[in-house]
Every structure is written in C-alpha cells, then in structure tokens.
Structure 1
C-alpha cells in the first residue's frame, strides 16, 4: 500500500524560512490545505507546529490525515559532547510520534533521521570527495547512527535515514557507505539525490530493498551550479528555487513512479517541494503548487 502525504516544508515552514518577510501558515492552516489538496498524510514539521498529544491527534482526525513522519537531525559527525546532548533530546520528539502511532493509523509515522551537516558541507551543496568521511571518522558516524536506530526501535517505531544536501550523507557514495555499515532503512529523496549527483532511477533500483520511506521531489540542477558561485550556497539553493513542481525539473517523474509501483514499495510517499516564500503571493503560489503536485499523481494514485 502506498499512501500520499505532503509536508510543511512545501509551504516554507522550515529552518531557512523568512518570517521577517512574510507570515507563514500555522499548523491548522497547513492541515486544512494539505487535506483539501487530497493528501492522506502530513509530515510533522517543527515539533509543536501541529500540536502535541491530544491536540495533534484531534487536528489530524478532523482533517482526515495521518502523521507520515518526523524530521530528526543529529550531529552524527560532531564531537562526542555534541552528539550526546542531541541524543538526550531524542525522546521528546519520539513521544510525539509514538502518541500518533498509538491512534492506530493505516501506516505508522517513521522517525526520519538525518545528519546535521557542518559549515564545510553547507558551503558545498552537492558534496565533494574531499568532504566525504572515511576510515575512523566514518566508523564513528555509522556507530552513532546504529545507536540512534536502536533507541528509536526501543520505542516501538521503525526509523529511516534521509540522505540530504549539505550533510555527510549526500552523494551516492555516502548513501552506499550508510547502507553497508548500518541496518537503518533509507528515505529515498529524488530531489536531494539529483543535487548530490545521483541518478534517481538506477539508484532507486539499487537501493530498493532498503528503502522504507519516499520523498518525491523534482529539482533543477542548473540552480545548484549557480548557487555554488554565491557567498551563501546553501541558502541560495533554496531561495533560487532549486526544487520545483513535479515535471518542471530534471526528474523523470513518470519513469520513477512507475518503477516505485512495480517494485512493490509499501509505505508513505511524501511529496515535498522545499520553498522559501518571501511574500504572501509566494505563500499562495506554494499552496497552488501542492494542489498541482497532487493532481500530477492522480493517474497512479486517485
């Protein structure tokens, strides 16, 4: 079974947002918009945005939505103290996800682990061989992923790991290393894979047995090349709209969705289109584009 979700980041609600320029939608608006667009689930977004405990479950039920997942980035490549401090806060996020899972959804939410990256990685979206962790540095990284994975499973949830731009799991080589040295499932993100130099169709086929979460996202890689020439490449990637509506970028959407279905994938497919709205008009544009993205998938998922 494949169920279709969307996420607050598609409306500009994430760490690169510009609330100094435009008011962003609150949890109630997001839940309503995503439900009205025809999605079955929603990603958690910033903890508390959609509420906690009964407030969260009530909001989801009123809009006929289920919680698809929740973002949890940790400094897997950081110092020991940095990692331990971050790990200590894990249970607070898992409490929210466990409570949502206990309401008996069709598909349980997946805690979506990711690396926090570093200043060096944020200055070079797309990655570079000299930035790849190797040897003892990678072994330490993988050990920390395994520790975190075990903590999540101890709470009765199954984790997934998101390869992501500007982090230490970004390129296909780095995804391969993650899969070889851990047993965590993979969040396959087609847009971030394009940024990291991957090829979504053959890479999906290669990793399909480990993929337990999907982020369907289109991207224009030319924007990445332009962003690398700026003083703040990471922000430039997002503000120049590297992520675009399905079918408007470099992703072979039809071929990839056909492959996903043929592979027998069972789980959440979260449509994401990270944007940084800078005006009320751009918030409305984001809302319209998520309706269009859902409509683009109706030939597969009515």
Structure 2
C-alpha cells in the first residue's frame, strides 16, 4: 500500500473549528514540526488564518518540512440559501490558496466541504442519536444540494480543484441515510465523499464495528479522502444515555486515540487495499486540555498505523 500517504491535521493539536472547545494554543510552526517529527508527510490547512494565508510563505513552511498540503475544511450553513454566496466566496478564497501550493503538495489538494456543524441546537444536542424527525425537509434538501453543487462547481471552474463532502456529527449530514441522500442528489463528477471512520460510527447511533465496513462498501465509489478517527464505545454509550451534546461528548474523549475504540481499522485497511484506494489517510484526534500531549498522541497513532502496515 505504498501509494497511500499518511497525514495529520491541526485539530489533533487542539486547533478545532469550534469556539469554546479549543485546546492549548499551539502555534502552527510547532504543530507542523511535531507533525513531521512523528512521521506524517502531509497536513490539512485548519481554520483560515491558523497557518499563513500568503501563498509564498505557506509554500515555504511546507517545503522546508517536506510536507504536502492535502486539503482544507470549509463549513457552510447549506440549509440556508442566503448563506450560499458567502460560502462560495470563502471556499474560493481557500481554494486559491490550496491551488497555489499544489506543486509543493505532490498531489491535488481537496476542498473539504461540510455543513456548519455545531450551529443547529437540535442537531448539536442529539449528535450520535439523530432520529428521522430531525432531518431536513424535502425543500431544505433541495436548497442544501443547490448550495453544495454551486460551491463545488465554482471551485472546479475557477481553480481546477475538486470538492468532497465531509459527513459530520452535529450537522445535517450525519447518519448513513443522510449521506446516501446527499450522494444520490449530487453529481458524482462534481462531488466526492470524505469518509470519516469515527464520525460515521458515532453518527450511525451504534457501536457495531461492522457498520464502518458496510459504509465503506456502500459509498466506496464516491470516497475521495479518508479520515482515520476512532470512537470510544463506552463514552459514546454514556453520551447517548446521559443526553450529552456533541461538545460534551468531545470533551469526554468520545474520539479517542486510534486502536482504543470500536473502529475496525484492520478491516478498513483491508478494504482500502482491495479497493485500491490511492488517496490520503488523515489522522484526526480532537485533543483538548486533560487528554494528554498532542505530539505523544500523534506519535502513538502513527505507530499504531505502522503496525497495520500503513
């Protein structure tokens, strides 16, 4: 599986996209140094402004560490038509920056489009246990898809980059059924899927390992990017029983170090090999105060992946 490369992301150093649950304020320079030193060869961008937004400076920071830029997360409240124009503007801003460092990356970076996760009170409160009545209506789905395709088309037309959608807990595309509907309603040549193992398992409402493998098989043709994230079953069950919201579950460590949860990574690795997946694997572990040292976690996660032959 030499064609698969392993990256990490700023969220693993506490630089989360949500206000109020940020970890220790680790500079991007330290983060990139530690990411490189623990054996990763790529990174995602993180929040706009966390890393340099000047193309020449960002390129220099990556080149001197021999790192690739693999993608950038762009959240947009796609349920609301009035948010689409601003979302397109922000996505293009990020896409221009990614395109400017594409040669350094050694591969084409992706725009990782997502809902504005954590902004809807009902979905945030019920992450990991979503029921049908919390879903988008048919009209809301139509608007959601219009915004998704508008942004993906603009990114493709203006910068030549591709877009993949990140299903995510506490957003409107969380459950397997919601992922299926999104993909059924969008063009395959316009939008791929970011498959996140931890969000998929927690968002399914179950701790059953087979669910992740079934999801890979179900959506494999659309998968363009893979996030390796684990889900701790006892904490997930406690979150569901106690009615914790998404942020409380994160603070309790629902997304744990790789190999310490329910995601069957050996099976995931076998699926990737069988499917001849040739994209990036990006490790994501939301590290917050009290959860340990980000560099140590990143190192243990990399050692774990090496034990799987990755």
Aligned length: 295
Q: Aligned partners of 1:48 and 1:85: how far apart in 2?
A: 17
Q: Which moved more, 1:202-211 or 1:116-125?
A: 116-125
Structure 1: unaligned runs, 5 residues or longer: none
1:136 paired to 2:148: no
1:204 paired to 2:213: no
Aligned runs of 1:228-247 on 2, under 5 Å? 228=240, 233-247=245-259
Paired residues of 2:88 and 2:150 also in contact (CA < 8 A): no
Aligned runs of 1:27-38 on 2, under 5 Å? 27-38=28-39
Choose from 65, 73, 86 the match for 2:67: 65
Q: Aligned partners of 1:63 and 1:193: how far apart in 2?
A: 32
Deviation at residue 190 of structure 1 after TM alignment = 0.3
Q: Aligned partners of 2:241 and 2:25: how far apart in 1?
A: 29
SS at 2:281 equivalent: strand
Aligned runs of 1:105-254 on 2, under 5 Å? 105-117=105-117, 118-126=120-128, 127-154=130-157, 155-183=159-187, 184-197=191-204, 199-228=211-240, 233-254=245-266
Deviation at residue 214 of structure 1 after TM alignment = 0.3
CA deviations on 1:258-292 (whole Å, 9 max, x unpaired) are 111221011111011112225xxx452x2111101
Deviation at residue 257 of structure 1 after TM alignment = 1.0
SS at 1:140 equivalent: helix
Q: Aligned partners of 1:249 and 1:287: how far apart in 2?
A: 20
User: Partner of 1:90 in structure 2?
Assistant: 91
Q: Aligned partners of 2:21 and 2:145: how far apart in 1?
A: 36
Structure 2: unaligned runs, 5 residues or longer: none
After superposition, the CA RMSD in angstroms is 2.0
Deviation at residue 250 of structure 1 after TM alignment = 0.6
Deviation at residue 23 of structure 1 after TM alignment = 3.8
Paired residues of 1:125 and 1:224 also in contact (CA < 8 A): no
Aligned runs of 1:251-266 on 2, under 5 Å? 251-266=263-278
TM value normalised by structure 1: 0.91
